[in-house]
Amino acid sequence: MTTTKVYRKMPGHSGGSFGNKGSNGPSKYSPRSTSSAPSTPSTGVSSSYSHRTGPSTGATSSYGHRSGTSTYGVSKIYGSSSRGGYAGSRSGSSSSRGGYSSGGSRGGFGGGNRGGGRRGPADQKIDPARFVSKAVITETAEKFVPEHAFNDFLIDARIKANIAKHGFTAPTPIQDKAIPHVLKGQDVVGIANTGTGKTAAFLIPLINKILLAPREKVIVMVPTRELAIQIEAELRLFTPMLRIFGVCCVGGAPISRQISQLKLTHSFVIGTPGRIKDLIERKFIRLEEFRTVVLDEADRMLDMGFINDMRAIMSKMAKDRQTLFFSATLSPEIAALIKEFLKEPVSISVKTRDTAKNVDQDVVRVGHGSDKVQILREMLSKAEFSKVLVFGRTKHGVEKLSKLLTQAGVKTESIHGNKNHGQRQRALGAFKDNKVQVLVATDVAARGLDIPDVSHVINFDLPATYDDYVHRIGRTGRAGKTGKALTFIG
Of the candidates 47, 57, 111, 38, the residue with the CA atom closest to the CA atom of residue 84: 47
Does 195 share its domain with 251? yes
Does 181 share its domain with 309? yes
Identify which has the larger pLDDT, 104 or 245.
245
Of the candidates 174, 182, 166, 268, the residue with the CA atom closest to the CA atom of residue 217: 268
Q: What is the pLDDT of residue 41?
A: 38
Does 115 share its domain with 151? no
Q: Which residues contact 357 (CB under 8 A, 6 or more apart)?
A: 11, 24, 51, 135, 136, 138
Each residue of 59-83: pLDDT tens digit?
A: 333 343 333 333 333 433 222 333 3
For residue 47, being part of any structural domain is answered with no
Using CA atoms, how far apart are residues 260 and 466, in angstroms rounded to an integer? 41
Each residue of 367-380: pLDDT tens digit?
A: 887 899 999 999 99
For residue 38, being part of any structural domain is answered with no
Contact 70, 98 (CB under 8 A): no
Does 231 share its domain with 253? yes
For residue 28, being part of any structural domain is answered with no
What is the domain count for the chain?
2
For residue 415, being part of any structural domain is answered with yes
Of the candidates 347, 341, 374, 178, the residue with the CA atom closest to the CA atom of residue 273: 341
CATH label of the domain that carries residue 68:
3.40.50.300
Q: What is the pLDDT of residue 199?
A: 93
Using CA atoms, how far apart are residues 398 and 268, in angstroms rounded to an integer? 34
Using CA atoms, how far apart are residues 236 and 198, in angstroms rounded to an integer? 16
Each residue of 145-173: pLDDT tens digit?
A: 778 889 999 999 999 999 999 888 889 99
Domain holding 265, by residue range, is 2-10+143-349
Check pLDDT > 70 for residue 138.
no
Does 232 share its domain with 336? yes
Q: Region 206-211: what's the mean pLDDT? A: 98
For residue 31, being part of any structural domain is answered with no
Q: Are strands 70-72 and 76-77 parallel, antiparallel or unpaired?
A: unpaired
Q: Are strands 2-3 and 346-349 parallel, antiparallel or unpaired?
A: parallel
Q: Region 193-216: what's the mean pLDDT? A: 92
For residue 373, being part of any structural domain is answered with yes
Does 93 share its domain with 176? no
Does 176 share its domain with 316? yes
Q: Region 183-189: what's the mean pLDDT? A: 97
Mean model confidence pLDDT for the chain: 76
Does 187 share its domain with 332? yes
Mean pLDDT lowest for which of 135-139, 191-195, 437-441? 135-139
Phi-psi region for residue 317, left (φ > 0), alpha (ψ -120 to 50) or beta? beta
Query: Would you tell me how many other CB atoms lie within 10 Å of the CB of residue 289?
Result: 12
Please report the sign of the dihedral spanned by the C-alpha atoms of residue 377, residue 392, residue 332, residue 201: negative
Does 195 share its domain with 64? no
Tell me, rounded to whole angstroms, the distance of Cα 370 from its chain centroid. Answer: 30
Does 431 share its domain with 334? no
For residue 133, being part of any structural domain is answered with yes
For residue 52, being part of any structural domain is answered with no
Share of the chain above pLDDT 70, in %: 70
- Last residue of some domain: 349, 376, 394? 349
Of the candidates 96, 182, 197, 102, the residue with the CA atom closest to the CA atom of residue 144: 197
Using CA atoms, how far apart are residues 354 and 367, in angstroms rounded to an integer? 29
- Last residue of some domain: 323, 349, 375? 349
Which pTM does this prediction carry? 0.59
- Please report, for residues 30, 54, 83, 153, 266, the alpha-carbon distance to residue 44 in angstroms, rounded to integers and kept in the order given: 26, 10, 5, 49, 61
Using CA atoms, how far apart are residues 190 and 348, in angstroms rounded to an integer? 5
Does 188 share its domain with 283? yes
Identify which has the larger pLDDT, 468 or 389.
389
- Last residue of some domain: 289, 314, 349? 349
Does 133 share its domain with 148? no
